[in-house]
Chains A and B, each alone.
Chain A
Amino acid sequence: MKQIFVRPELCMGCRSCEIGCEVQHSKDKTLFSAVLQSPSPSPRLFVEAAEDIKMPVICRHCEEAPCLNGCISGCLYRDEKGFVRRKKERCIGCWSCMMLCPFGVITRDKEKRIAVKCDRCHKLDLPACVSACPTGALQLVDLDEVPKEIRSRAVLSGTSAYRS
Chain B
Amino acid sequence: MRHVIIGGSIAGISAAKAIRQSDPSAEVTVLSGEKARPYYRPMIPFLIRKGDIDITFEGDLEKRYGFAVAYEKAAGIDVAKKEVRLESGRNISYDRLLIATGSRPVVPAIPGIRGEAVFTLRTAQDARSIGKSAEKARSAVVLGGGLVGIKTAIALRKAGLGVTIVEKLDCILPGKFDRRGSEIISNIVEKEGIRVLTGISISEVVRAKGELRGVRLSSGDTLDAGMLIVAAGTLPDLDIVKGTGIRTRTGVLIDENLRTSVPDIYAAGDVVEYTDLVFGRSAVSALWTNAEEMGRLAGRNMAGGKAKYEGFLSVLNSSEIFDIPVMAIGLVEPDPLSREYESLVEDNVDSYKKLVFKGSVLVGAVFINDVENAGIYTNLIRSRMQMGGLKEEAIKGSLRYINFIRTVPEQTMSA
Where the two chains meet, the residues of A that have a C-beta atom closer than 8 Å to any C-beta of B are 3-9, 46, 48-50, 52-53, 55, 57-61, 64, 66-67, 69-70, 72-74, 77, 87, 92-96, 98-108, 113, 118, 143, 146, 150-151, 153-154, 156-160, 164
Contact = CB atoms under 8 A, between A and B. Distances in A.
Contact of B375 (A6, A55, A104): A104
Given A50-B402, A69-B289, A100-B378, A153 B319 contact: no
Given A69-B289, A69-B296, A104 B373 contact: yes
B402 A49 contact: yes
Interface of B: 40, 42-43, 46, 55, 57-58, 288-289, 292-293, 296, 316, 318-320, 323, 325, 327, 329, 371-376, 378-379, 382-383, 385, 400-415
A115 to B, nearest CB: 11
A66 B46 CA distance: 24
A96 B46 contact: no
Contacts, number: 163
Contacts of B319: 94-95
B401 A94 contact: no
B402 A59 contact: no
Nearest to A154: B413
A150 B376 CA distance: 25
Contact of A57 (B316, B402, B406, B414): B402
Nearest to B415: A4
Contact of A101 (B327, B375, B408, B411): B375
Contact of A6 (B57, B325, B327, B415): B415
A1 B222 CA distance: 65
B412 A6 contact: yes
A72 B375 contact: no
Nearest to A57: B401
Contact of A104 (B318, B325, B382, B400): B400
A53 B405 CA distance: 9
Contact of B413 (A61, A77, A118, A156): A156
Contact of A153 (B46, B323, B382, B408): B408
Nearest to B42: A72
29 contacts: A3-B414, A4-B415, A5-B413, A6-B415, A50-B403, A53-B405, A53-B407, A55-B402, A57-B400, A57-B402, A61-B415, A64-B296, A69-B292, A69-B293, A74-B58, A93-B325, A95-B320, A95-B327, A95-B374, A96-B318, A98-B372, A99-B318, A103-B375, A104-B401, A106-B375, A113-B320, A156-B405, A157-B404, A159-B404
* Top 10 A-B pairs, shortest CB-CB distance: A102-B379, A48-B402, A101-B375, A158-B404, A72-B42, A4-B415, A160-B383, A70-B289, A104-B373, A99-B318
